[in-house]
Structure 1
Amino acid sequence: MDQMDQMDQMDHGAQLGTGSAGIDAVALLLRLVLLFGSAVVAGVGLLRPLVGAVGRRLTVVVAALAGISAVLAIVSILTVGANVVGAVVHAALAVAIAGLLPKPGAARWPAAALVVLVVIETALGSSGIDFAVDTVFVAGATVWLGITALSLGVAPQEWRGSSLRLGPLAITLGGLLVLAGGTQLALSGIGFDRRLYGSAFGVALLAILVLALVATVVAAVPRADPGRTYRFGAAAIAIGFLAWSALAAIPKPPELPVPGVPLLASVSVADQDVPVLVSPQRPGRNLVHVPATAGEVSVAVEGGQAVRATARPGAEGSWAEVDLPDGRSDLVLTKDDSPAKVEVDAGTAEGAASAAGSDGPECAAAALGGLLNNRRTLLTACPSDALSDDDADALRKLVGFLAERRAPVIDLVADETARGAAAAKVVREAAARKNIPVAPGQSPDGALVVVSGWDLGYRTMRDAATAQREKPAYGYGLYAAPWLLHGPIVNLVASSSIPLRFDPREQLAVSYAVTVGNGFGGESPSVAGFRNWLGDQWRSVSGEVQIFASAQVNAMPMYPNEPHPPGMVMARDYRGQWVPEGTVVPVSVPLKS
């Protein structure tokens, strides 16, 4: 499983036509001119031993292209942060080829090195089959461009050796370029859906394949002068090479929205990349979620009334309720009068009713966990729709823990969801076996046990914190169901306890917390999201139930400019925390009953 590799990734390319990660036009132009000029120079140098004397015009052209390539290589250090050693070597090789052009045998060695460097620079970190495909295309295009340039500067009879047959070589090169273009299209994952013609990345891929086919067809036409074959196909090869070189700088379009699968995207709005979560992506009421870092955002179906995204009890960030029509449509996010679009596809089937209600944020957080690990599954049910066997067992053992502490009464708070009703029943039955009364309302002499969803859980913890500030209350502690381990809820009180089957301080739990923070604007993790992120690997972290205490670390709040003792750590927002500015630690041994 690649959670650590995916920690800084997410499927957040903007939808068609909106590219969140914009293309730097100047940097792209610099890249294209540099690589194209270098490919021509390298091709000429590589094939130089195959011809006799070259004309002055070709010598001047190669020298000019080499000079431009060398200058741009150095400029790239200052403008786009190119590797200094690589850029200097690139410039030196280009100049060396131009200088050694009169010496056929000597020019091919720096040319071969420059071809390798151009392949590496074009691939931009690709490996495996991607790098092999890059090598085939760049090398093939370089040879074609080199023969084209040489055929303009030397007479046909100047080609040395009868072993090189330019005609068959052109067909072979064209076939290799078609194969490389087709393989790249297959590896892209775009296939033949609308992204192929609706995104810059797809258009570039399509252009590469079509132009390679054109060059191959041209090569198949017999000619007395084989050099003309290369000249006729040169435009197609040149444009195809430029498109290939641009691929690494063009944002790859995201997966197409799938009806019923919550959508995770990103848009560039008001000069800020904003992650967006749409759940459940079905006709009717949907929740559109953006992180707190997005600021004030409004959302609307294109052509409809805008709705401002606001806070929801128990959840982080901002949420807007939007009614989606059947089929495809565009959501318009607006910030500071700057709009951006997100393409959605709701289909026609009904979605889970609880996905957009008061328990919708927890449902969306669960879906987010799966999406951050590339799990794009239909949302057919939400966590509040049923009580899992693991959670039921954790609640029974929580009651047993309270019985060992001799809690005189349990103040139980549940909601009317299927999970809430089942959880309340489990607690009551377990309490009856332990002879602990369950109070229908607040009982400050006992323990507060909350088994509701995020909304009611938030309001209950808020009221409990108020009660504890006014007078002694809940002397046996505040306890929350496992699914309520979420920053906005547990941070309302100084300390609360949760029965958990995993340790939030362990590597996988911390990795997930970092992944959520990186992937969704600093968002805090949730238990349901963690389960979906892990998938089948959840069994590896689901152990014996222990009681964990969530406590705020910043017990002595101070004003930002207030003096504090030397060495005192003031920053509390550590990466990988499950509770912002807090900690979660075990306070019991594994519970057996």
Structure 2
Amino acid sequence: MSSPHALRTPRGRRRFVTPATAVPALAVPVLFLAVAVPAWAQTPGSGYGRTGEAAGAVLTNPLTISLGIVAVVASAVVAGTATLGFLSPPSRRSVLVVQGGAAVAVPVLVINWLIGGLTALAAFPQAAGVLLAAVMFARGCQTSSAVIGLLLIGALGYNATIGHVGWHVGLAAVHMVAAVTWLGSAVSVATPACGARFTVLRRHTLVFAISATVAVAAAALEAVAKGMRFDGVTFGSLTGQLVIVQALGMTVAISTGLCRPGAIGGRVVAVAAGLVFTAGTVIAVQTPAPVPADTGRPLLRTVALAGQDVPVVVVPQRPGRNLVHVGVPGALVGGVSADERAGAPGGWAMVDLPAGTDVLTVEADGEQVPLRLDLGSDPAPPALVAGLAGPDGPECLSAVVGAMVGGVSDLPAACPADKLSAQDAVALRATVRFLADRDVALYLVSDGSGRSKAAATVVRDAAAAHGLRVDDRLNPADAVVVVAGWEGGRRRLTDELFGRSTVGGTYTAPWLATGSVLGRRTSAVTTLDFDPRAVPAQRYLADLRAAGVTLLASPAGFREWSAPTDRDEAIAGPRIFTAVQVAVIPAAVGGTDHRTTAPWLPGGALTPVTPPLPT
């Protein structure tokens, strides 16, 4: 039987806290832990209890996040106070605070595990540490409670580093450790009886000052690293508002602790410290404030808008006219409606941005999201701006996005539709040679772009060389060759859907192999000099998916993505691909895991129907 530990009440009478009087306050977490242990011991396949995945499907993610915040704050109160117990004997109030923190933390950790928010390896060691620290602290075992508290602080510091990279890992850990220590010091100073408060305050002054200073410095560095600035974008966001709460709470806690170290002051310090720590914990799990834009470089962001994650792309992000793509059509961008365009996904808007504009507002369904801009002073290349403002602007933006995700920082001088590339010219000649074996007349669909005019010339010359006729009017027996841009190509394929198809079929130029142009058609045919199913194209799609702009996949974007290191694989020659709807194929059929290949087209795929064609 351990010896009782004497505590002094506010009236000066001694009250003894023994294991018999300390443990009842912990009965709830102990019972909860005891009930949960059998479920913890079962394997997912044993048929007992409920797995985290099953329960997680029932409850929502916001609940998991809320429980995580509560668990961190309650665990921090226990860890910080128990660790600093060697500086002064625990008071009745400090014991109650620690026991209350444990009574909250342990059930919340177990519940969070049950709903799939935490693994057993993360939840139960932390719950056990909280429980042991509270018991040792209540029994007056200063060394044991300090050691367990230190281990618990270390666990909280490690958890704070999850999701960080580089030097941000150490910064996050230092911030958490300093904040937990400061919180424990505040509780220790606020809870003693009035007569003992000055003694406790004197012993904790150094720890309180150092931990507060380190916490403030780390918080400031983290705020800067997350892109927070003294502007309306930061303080209009949830993260910015929480930073204000942190700053005010820290100011109130420190100033009150210095000016009024008595009973009321101590309680104010503790409340302010708890508020600061809670705000910091919420910041850690919330989306960071909008980060600064790179000066004069295209902007690519994903924002929460209209109840979903929406990509927003601003090109070229220079003074003057800019093309803005929004993942949902109909949104307002700087007051301009982002409308749908034929052959292009989402919404599109041309927005004039005067020099010095630093915020662009995107609005949908009554929600507004500000985006930081940094236009710089240099105008964009005139040919690029003209191309973005024209009918082929969406393809031009997709090419710029491909360069961005591929690591290219410079703006292109012009858009892909300005001239015909050598690769596309080879593909078009191969297509005409393929059609020469079928002995059909050709009908050309073109537009006014420089590329389309050059492509029409290539097709006519190749047709003449192979003895094919090019009709000026559409004949049902013709083979249609589409060399227009995305808008013209989509309109032609739409016409075909409504009965204007031809016996000879429709052959599209390589730049039209996009999901928004081909859609889910089963008869569209195009000639490509790369395989959308091969590793390079799959890596390109993975980079787009990571940036949230998979629907902007295009041959022009893939070409710009491939350019820096020639990531494309060697090919024997262009091949004709057809768009087909994707059937659901079970994984590992025939020894192949089909989940590793992402389709180039949403709801469909491009499949080769010819061997490499002669050029």
Both structures adopt the same fold (TM-score exceeding 0.5):
yes
Question: 2:443 touches 2:471 (CA, 8 Å); kept in 1?
Answer: yes
1:107 partnered with 2:145: yes
Per the TM alignment, residue 482 of structure 1 is displaced from its structure 2 partner at its CA by: 1.0
Q: In structure 2, do the counterparts of structure 1 residues 389 and 74 end up closer, same or farther at CA, with 3 Å as the change threshold?
A: same
Tell me the distance in 1 between the aligned counterparts of 2:93 and 2:470: 96
**Amino acid of the structure 1 residue aligned with 2:451:** R
Aligned to 1:481: 509
Gaps of 5+ in 1: 1-22, 556-566
Aligned pairs for 1:270-349 (under 5 A) are 270-277=306-313, 289-291=325-327, 294=328, 297=330, 299=332, 301-302=334-335, 307=337, 309-310=339-340, 312-317=341-346, 319=347, 321=349, 323-324=351-352, 326=354, 327=357, 330-331=360-361, 333-335=363-365, 338-343=366-371, 349=379
Per the TM alignment, residue 99 of structure 1 is displaced from its structure 2 partner at its CA by: 1.5
Tell me the distance in 1 between the aligned counterparts of 2:568 and 2:458: 26
Per the TM alignment, residue 124 of structure 1 is displaced from its structure 2 partner at its CA by: 4.4
Question: 1:517 touches 1:524 (CA, 8 Å); kept in 2?
Answer: no
Per the TM alignment, residue 132 of structure 1 is displaced from its structure 2 partner at its CA by: 2.1
Candidates 442, 446, 455, aligned match of 1:423 = 455
Candidates 413, 417, 421, aligned match of 1:388 = 421
1:530 partnered with 2:530: no
Question: 1:44 touches 1:149 (CA, 8 Å); kept in 2?
Answer: yes
Aligned to 1:135: 173
**Amino acid of the structure 1 residue aligned with 2:123:** A
Tell me the distance in 2 between the aligned counterparts of 1:573 and 1:157: 66
Candidates 231, 246, 251, aligned match of 2:287 = 251
Per the TM alignment, residue 377 of structure 1 is displaced from its structure 2 partner at its CA by: 5.8
1:58 partnered with 2:86: no
Q: In structure 2, do the counterparts of structure 1 residues 168 and 230 end up closer, same or farther at CA, with 3 Å as the change threshold?
A: farther
Per the TM alignment, residue 136 of structure 1 is displaced from its structure 2 partner at its CA by: 1.6
What is the root-mean-square deviation in Å for CA atoms of aligned residues?
4.8
1:199 partnered with 2:231: no
Residues 131-140 or 510-519, more deviating: 510-519
User: Per the alignment, in what secondary structure is the counterpart of residue 578 of structure 2?
Assistant: strand
Candidates 471, 479, 500, aligned match of 2:528 = 500
Tell me the distance in 2 between the aligned counterparts of 1:173 and 1:344: 34
1:578 partnered with 2:610: no
Candidates 392, 409, 412, aligned match of 1:359 = 392
Question: 2:183 touches 2:270 (CA, 8 Å); kept in 1?
Answer: yes
1:181 partnered with 2:219: yes
Per the TM alignment, residue 115 of structure 1 is displaced from its structure 2 partner at its CA by: 1.3
Tell me the distance in 1 between the aligned counterparts of 2:111 and 2:445: 66
**Amino acid of the structure 1 residue aligned with 2:182:** W
Tell me the distance in 2 between the aligned counterparts of 1:194 and 1:333: 16
Candidates 68, 72, 81, aligned match of 1:44 = 81
Tell me the distance in 1 between the aligned counterparts of 2:510 and 2:265: 71
Question: 1:190 touches 1:202 (CA, 8 Å); kept in 2?
Answer: yes
Per the TM alignment, residue 231 of structure 1 is displaced from its structure 2 partner at its CA by: 9.5
1:19-62: CA deviations, max 9, x gaps?
xxxx99877665545323322321232233455x4333332332
Q: In structure 2, do the counterparts of structure 1 residues 110 and 367 end up closer, same or farther at CA, with 3 Å as the change threshold?
A: same
Tell me the distance in 2 between the aligned counterparts of 1:452 and 1:389: 17
Q: In structure 2, do the counterparts of structure 1 residues 554 and 97 end up closer, same or farther at CA, with 3 Å as the change threshold?
A: closer
Tell me the distance in 1 between the aligned counterparts of 2:187 and 2:319: 59
Aligned to 1:6: none
Candidates 570, 577, 580, aligned match of 1:549 = 577
Per the TM alignment, residue 121 of structure 1 is displaced from its structure 2 partner at its CA by: 3.9
Tell me the distance in 1 between the aligned counterparts of 2:603 and 2:184: 62
Per the TM alignment, residue 454 of structure 1 is displaced from its structure 2 partner at its CA by: 1.3
**Amino acid of the structure 2 residue aligned with 1:586:** P
Tell me the distance in 2 between the aligned counterparts of 1:581 and 1:156: 69
Tell me the distance in 2 between the aligned counterparts of 1:421 and 1:260: 32
Per the TM alignment, residue 358 of structure 1 is displaced from its structure 2 partner at its CA by: 2.1
Q: How many residues align?
A: 533
Question: 1:450 touches 1:457 (CA, 8 Å); kept in 2?
Answer: yes
1:540 partnered with 2:568: yes
User: Per the alignment, in what secondary structure is the counterpart of residue 536 of structure 1?
Assistant: coil
Tell me the distance in 1 between the aligned counterparts of 2:520 and 2:156: 57
1:474-503: CA deviations, max 9, x gaps?
2xx532211011234335864343232210
User: Per the alignment, in what secondary structure is the counterpart of residue 248 of structure 1?
Assistant: helix
Tell me the distance in 2 between the aligned counterparts of 1:105 and 1:574: 54
1:533-553: CA deviations, max 9, x gaps?
455245434644322221434
User: Per the alignment, in what secondary structure is the counterpart of residue 57 of structure 1?
Assistant: helix
Tell me the distance in 1 between the aligned counterparts of 2:542 and 2:430: 30
Question: 1:367 touches 1:529 (CA, 8 Å); kept in 2?
Answer: yes
Gaps of 5+ in 2: 1-59, 584-588
Question: 1:175 touches 1:216 (CA, 8 Å); kept in 2?
Answer: no
Tell me the distance in 2 between the aligned counterparts of 1:533 and 1:234: 54
**Amino acid of the structure 2 residue aligned with 1:316:** P
Aligned to 1:20: none
Tell me the distance in 1 between the aligned counterparts of 2:516 and 2:63: 44
Aligned pairs for 1:115-264 (under 5 A) are 115-126=153-164, 128-151=166-189, 153=192, 172-174=210-212, 176-190=214-228, 195-202=233-240, 204=242, 238-256=274-292, 263-264=299-300
User: Per the alignment, in what secondary structure is the counterpart of residue 419 of structure 1?
Assistant: helix
Per the TM alignment, residue 416 of structure 1 is displaced from its structure 2 partner at its CA by: 1.3
Question: 1:58 touches 1:150 (CA, 8 Å); kept in 2?
Answer: yes
Per the TM alignment, residue 263 of structure 1 is displaced from its structure 2 partner at its CA by: 4.7
What is the TM-score with the length of structure 2 in the denominator? 0.70
Q: In structure 2, do the counterparts of structure 1 residues 183 and 233 end up closer, same or farther at CA, with 3 Å as the change threshold?
A: same
**Amino acid of the structure 1 residue aligned with 2:285:** A
**Amino acid of the structure 1 residue aligned with 2:176:** V
Q: In structure 2, do the counterparts of structure 1 residues 284 and 574 end up closer, same or farther at CA, with 3 Å as the change threshold?
A: farther
Q: In structure 2, do the counterparts of structure 1 residues 457 and 252 end up closer, same or farther at CA, with 3 Å as the change threshold?
A: same
Q: In structure 2, do the counterparts of structure 1 residues 545 and 191 end up closer, same or farther at CA, with 3 Å as the change threshold?
A: farther
Question: 1:277 touches 1:289 (CA, 8 Å); kept in 2?
Answer: yes
Question: 2:227 touches 2:289 (CA, 8 Å); kept in 1?
Answer: no
Tell me the distance in 1 between the aligned counterparts of 2:296 and 2:452: 25
Residues 363-372 or 410-419, more deviating: 363-372
**Amino acid of the structure 2 residue aligned with 1:577:** P
Q: In structure 2, do the counterparts of structure 1 residues 542 and 175 end up closer, same or farther at CA, with 3 Å as the change threshold?
A: farther
Tell me the distance in 2 between the aligned counterparts of 1:507 and 1:149: 57
User: Per the alignment, in what secondary structure is the counterpart of residue 449 of structure 1?
Assistant: strand
Tell me the distance in 2 between the aligned counterparts of 1:212 and 1:237: 7
Tell me the distance in 2 between the aligned counterparts of 1:273 and 1:499: 34
What is the TM-score with the length of structure 1 in the denominator? 0.72
Per the TM alignment, residue 113 of structure 1 is displaced from its structure 2 partner at its CA by: 2.7
**Amino acid of the structure 2 residue aligned with 1:578:** W
Tell me the distance in 2 between the aligned counterparts of 1:459 and 1:138: 58
Aligned to 1:590: 612
